[in-house]
Amino acid sequence: MAAHSVQPIRAALHSVGCKLNQFEAELLRQALEDRGYEIVDFEDRADVYILNSCTVTCRTDRECRRLARGARARNPRAYLVLTGCYAEVAGEDLRRRDLADLVVGNAGKPHLANLIDAALNRSPLGCLPAEATDGPPLLRQFRGHTRAFLKVQEGCAGGCAYCIIARARGPERSVPAALAAEQARLLALRHPEIVLVGTHLGRYGRDRPGEPDLAGLVERLCALPELQRLRLSSLEPLEVSPALQEQVIAGGRALAGDTSLPARGKICRHLHLPLQSGSDSVLRRMGRPYAAAAYAELVHSLHARQPGLAIGADVMVGFPGETEAEFEATVRLVETLPLAYLHVFTFSPRPGTAAAEMPGQIPGHIKKQRNQVLRALSARKRAEFAASQVGACLEVVLEAGDNGAPYALSDNYLRLPLAAPAGPPGRVFPVTAGSLAAKDLGVPES
């Protein structure tokens, strides 16, 4: 693989896990393409394989090991790189297993392209355009996606007993507001919707005195003329500040026709607020910093002010010591909340976390039963929210489905199938949901 080889070096990337990983993988893809690499599918034969890993559960660890072994089998001579959260927390173990030629944690991701160049005896800057060496790299396009993710925050100071991500992602770091705005502007030139993502998004700006908080950043981004639509990813319930609530509610009014709020009308009527449990005793054992009543008050207040707001929640079943009464408290709370959907997770012990060592581990068959109960409840919530929107005028963006069939994604997170072609993906336009039966509407699972 000499630097003067006529054939470009084939590089394959695969990202497991969260939206942050996907954003970082796109930055790496761009850096490699700028250096003259040919990007191929991860299942193809390649000269370099880069696996951007996740370690949120033991299952994702196993999946990452499987993917690494598969890449090695496809081309035993390929240079195999393992990066991401699994590499961060278990780097030494991965080296002992000889699963990769290079193991790099999250902090090393910005340098990966240069490290790969060096390993393959290529020029450190390869075919980089001159402007790419000035300041932090900016992503020009989120390839293969109608909507673009934008990472504005990384790291977590939380102490959830079941989670290892605080260790994997390190301390809280926020992207400077000016840099985040320029990245948003650049992506908005090619993408109709920007999704703000972070490990702990609601704490954006707290590590940068004098910089805007999340509400301030949202205000700044919505003022960009290039931006059509802005969506917020998962937010901790205590971090939905009054200012942020006002922005989301005002955005809903603007979308309903209040032209006095055109900029705030860019904010999607959608919030994802992790609940995890409706039992205060379970929340305390989890290390969650709120009570079920406070969560319920927030959700009811938001819904009362903006009934078209889609509110989703994470819920975990089978946390150590979860009694039948504690589980029933979760079911009762969820039944009373105006939620649009649930993401239901089954607890599994994650080595390195406090919860893995807790007494009262729940048998698998009980966890499975509880999972099924909440998934059925989630399906009912989805149907109820969809039915509430029939006849409403919704702003949608046209997307291409996995099977190539287009669908429309509304600002309040409803996935609407289309009976006829409506133009190329990326188009934003209004539709009246009255032409569709409630059963045909569905909230995406993620």
Q: Is residue 73 part of a domain?
A: yes
User: Can you give the residue range of the structural domain that contains 282?
Assistant: 273-387
Residue type, 11: A
Give the number of domains in the chain. 4
Q: Is residue 5 part of a domain?
A: no
Same domain, 188 and 77: no
Does the structure show a pLDDT above 70 at 442? no
Q: Could you report the per-residue pLDDT of 342-369, keeping only the tens digit for each? A: 999 999 998 889 999 999 999 999 999 9
Same domain, 239 and 157: yes
Same domain, 41 and 129: yes
CA–CA distance, 346 with 149 (Å, rounded to integer): 27
As a residue count, the chain comes to 446
pLDDT band at 419 (very low <50, low <70, confident <90, very high): low
The percentage of residues in the chain with a pLDDT greater than 90, rounded to a whole number, is 68
**Residue 231 φ then ψ, to 5°:** -120, 145
Which residues, listed in sequence order, are joined to residue 49 by a DSSP beta bridge? 12, 80
Q: Could you report the per-residue pLDDT of 158-207, keeping only the tens digit for each? A: 889 999 888 889 899 999 999 999 999 999 999 999 999 999 999 999 99
Structure tokens at 355: 């919860």
CA angle 325, 280, 443 (to 5 degrees): 85
- What pTM was computed for the model? 0.89
Torsion of CA 42, 413, 342, 222, to 10 degrees: 90
3-state secondary structure of 186: helix
| Identity of the highest mean pLDDT range in 77-91, 270-284, 409-423 | 270-284
CB 382 within 8 A of CB 374: no
Q: Which helix (H) or strand (E) holds 366?
A: helix 364-389
- Cα dihedral 68, 70, 72, 75 sign: negative
CA–CA distance, 11 with 79 (Å, rounded to integer): 9
CA–CA distance, 160 with 173 (Å, rounded to integer): 19
Domain containing 61 — which CATH number? 3.40.50.12160
CA–CA distance, 124 with 165 (Å, rounded to integer): 31
Domain containing 358 — which CATH number? 3.30.750.200
Give the single-character DSSP code of 442: B
CA–CA distance, 348 with 336 (Å, rounded to integer): 27
CA–CA distance, 116 with 29 (Å, rounded to integer): 12
Same domain, 159 and 264: yes
Same domain, 164 and 232: yes
Mean pLDDT of 19-26: 92
Same domain, 199 and 281: no
Domain stop point among 80, 114, 133: 133
Structure tokens at 404: 């190539």
CB 101 within 8 A of CB 81: yes
Report the chain's C-alpha Rg in angstroms: 23
CA–CA distance, 50 with 71 (Å, rounded to integer): 9
Same domain, 372 and 398: no
Domain stop point among 246, 270, 294: 270
Same domain, 249 and 288: no
Does the structure show a pLDDT above 70 at 1? no
pLDDT at res. 421: 61
Same domain, 160 and 194: yes
pLDDT at res. 389: 92
The percentage of residues in the chain with a pLDDT greater than 70, rounded to a whole number, is 87
CB 52 within 8 A of CB 14: yes
Q: Is residue 446 part of a domain?
A: no
Map tokens 């996907």 to a residue: 22
Structure tokens at 362: 């729940």
| Identity of the highest mean pLDDT range in 109-113, 285-289, 435-439 | 285-289
Structure tokens at 238: 């205590």
Same domain, 156 and 262: yes
- Among 370, 366, 297, 291, which residue's Cα sits nearest to residue 331? 370
Mean pLDDT of the chain: 88
Domain stop point among 80, 98, 133: 133
